Structure 1
Amino acid sequence: MHALIFGGNGRIARAMTRLLLARAWTVTSIIRNPQQGPGILALGRGQPGDIHVLQYDLRDLKTAQDAETLFNRTGATCAVFAAGSFSNPYAIDRDAAKAAIAAATSLPSVTKFLMISFPASRRKPAPWWNSRDIADYTSERAAYPDIGDAKIQADEYLVAMANPRRARGGGGQHAHAHAHGPPFQAISLRPTWLTTGRATGRVSIGETRALGQVSIEDVAAVAVEMLGREDVSGWFDLVAGDVEIQEAVDSVVQGAVDCIEGEDVEAIYKLAD
């Protein structure tokens, strides 16, 4: 597999890059500042996978055609959107993400899209939350209104655009993938507050608390575990926990857990272009 990582110099993106290369994936990391290039390329040192760097300002990623050019230029078969902006979330977290999603879902060669989001990216409180969780969620959305609004629009758009893509099949060699799982995997991984501590290898995925902590390294490991499978799609909230990562991913897949529960999915489907 060949992953195109949007926001390649971010902390989660860099940790994912190392793990993907260790699995012998090819990674193309999109960065804005060319000075970041040597550090990204160094992540491939001694790894079985291949690393490439593509300099591109995501503020210029405005249309599906812009993003299709990046996919076609690199030959990527998988997308990871790990970019974000405190200063301009509508340009990056929403518009650039939506352009990447539109391109990925239109290209038969792209079969996986993983979005890094967060648990408060919801229109209303999750049905499994208690009163403290609801208060935390309300506070979180109030503290970062533009980021929250931009993220939820991107998360919903991924769901909306993946729905018809699945219905029409993957195309090409993936056209008969229904027998083995969906031809397009749309994953919204939703980690809580990030820490820089060492990986624990243990997490809680799915119907978690609204807020908590989780290490960047564990987030990356969960993301790569999900991308390495053919049967993962949906929204997955993520906090620190005591379940080994592979077992935790197995559990949400086998239990058909999807944290979109409680949202108006039919209304979300109507957001597709």
Structure 2
Amino acid sequence: MSQNILLIGGHGKVSQLLTPLLLAKSWNVTSMIRSPDQKVTIERLGQGQPGKLNVLVNSVEDVKNEADAKKILDQVKPDWVVWSAGAGGHGGAPRTLAIDRDAAIAFTKASIHNPSIKKFLTVSYLSSRRNKPSWWSEKDWQYAQKVNNEVLPTYYKAKLAADEVLTVLAKERLDEETKKGVKETERFCGISLRPGSLTDEKAGGVSMGKIGCEGKVSRETVAYAVVSVLETEEARGWFDMLDGEEDVRESVKRCVKDGVDCVEDEDLGDMKKNIADL
């Protein structure tokens, strides 16, 4: 079945690899970019594809709250939303917080509060968590602590906040839909895809699920993983991933079948307190 997808951050490296893959599924994509100068680059990605590509010029920096995000969603009318935007380290801490936290949370809230939107996927990163998961070694935890507190402290705060808002609100909507008797395959899917350090290598296999945090993953593999998660029924939760040996699609199916959700060992009650003022 054809889906209408809003891809936020359409000019990013992962998004440019992802767009043709989405269109090849006969899904329709609205690629949201910040500048008219980027439009020609994005339009080329749709050539010869069965899905329809639209380009929306609207900077995420102008999205200050849920109401701003809702206006864009009302205009695009997507079935699914993919967040792959980011400050990319440009503009200092204020810009990182404005995009990776505030705009991301605005779109997350607006999407989850829109009953016609069935899936929201954010591209996060593997170390975005507060607690040491039981399957990590002490070396893994020390590595994550260094990345989060010394290398990327503002980015960590921003992505963690966005991940926690998605996790809490997605669960609340899912629980409500379950109570109402909504069919399992039609219930909301909130997804945090969490790759390790990104590279420009060709796509390959993955290691997905309860893995360590040190390692790399190809941007092209991440793009294939986004498609695989979106097309897999009942895929929801946190998906940690690095380069590995398993086929991407089979890895996603395995995680869903086995109920693997890497949010395990995080505290939902604490998350609710953390996001109360966001």
Q: TM-score, normalised by structure 1?
A: 0.94
Within 5 Å, which residues of 2 pair with 1:246-265? 246-265=249-268
Q: Which digits, 9 at most, give the CA deviation of each residue in 1:168-217, with x for residues without a partner?
A: 329xxxx7543x336110000000011111111x1011111112011111
Distance in structure 1 (CA, Å) of the matches to 2:106 and 2:159: 14
Shift of 1:125: 2.0
Deviation track 1:237-260 (CA, whole Å, cap 9, x = no partner) reads 110010111110111101111111
Alpha-carbon deviation of 1:64? 1.3
5 Å-filtered alignment, 1:1-273, equals 1-85=3-87, 86=89, 87=92, 88-141=95-148, 142-169=150-177, 177-178=182-183, 180-181=184-185, 183-200=187-204, 202-269=205-272, 271=275
* Structure 1 unaligned residues grouped into runs of 5+: none
CA contact (8 A) 1:125 1:137 kept: no
Does the aligned pair in 1 maintain the 2:232–2:252 contact within 8 Å? no
Cα distance between partner residues in 2 of 1:230 and 1:63: 30
Paired amino acid for 2:85: A
The AA in structure 2 aligned to 1:261 is E
Q: Percent identity?
A: 37
Mean Cα deviation higher: 161-170 or 250-259: 161-170
Match for 1:193: what amino acid? S
Aligned partners of 2:28, 2:85: CA distance in 1, in Å?
19
Point out the more displaced range, 31-40 or 126-135. Answer: 126-135
Inter-partner Cα distance in structure 1 for 2:104 and 2:147: 21
How far apart in 2 are the matches of 1:156 and 1:130? 23
Q: How many residues align?
A: 267
Q: Distance in 2 between matches of 1:168 and 1:261?
A: 21
Looking at structure 2, the residues matched to 177 and 224 of structure 1 have their Cα atoms a distance apart, in angstroms, of 24
Q: For 1:212 and 1:52, how far apart are their aligned partners in 2? A: 35
CA distance in 1 between partners of 2:108 and 2:181 (Å)? 22
CA distance in 2 between partners of 1:198 and 1:177 (Å) = 40
Letter in 2 for 1:75: K
- Asked whether the 8 Å contact 1:169–1:183 carries over to 2, the reply is yes
CA distance in 2 between partners of 1:162 and 1:51 (Å): 28
Question: Aligned-residue CA RMSD in angstroms?
Answer: 1.5
For residues 29-68 of structure 1, the C-alpha deviation after alignment (integer angstroms, 9 at most, x for no partner) is: 1111111111101101000001011111111111111111
2:118, 2:186 within 8 Å by CA — same for their partners in 1?
A: no
Q: Give the partner amino acid of 2:154.
A: D
Q: Which runs of 5+ in 2 are unaligned?
A: none
| TM-score, normalisation: structure 2 | 0.92
3-state SS of 2:198 partner = strand
Distance 1:223 1:119 in 2: 15
CA distance in 1, matches of 2:62, 2:55: 17
CA deviations over 1:114-168 (Å, ceiling 9, x no partner)? 0100011011222211122112111111211000010000000001111221133
Residues 56 and 208 (structure 1), Cα distance of their counterparts in 2 relative to 1, 3 Å cut: same
Could you say if the C-alpha distance between residues 18 and 177 of structure 1 is closer, same or farther in structure 2, counting changes exceeding 3 Å?
farther
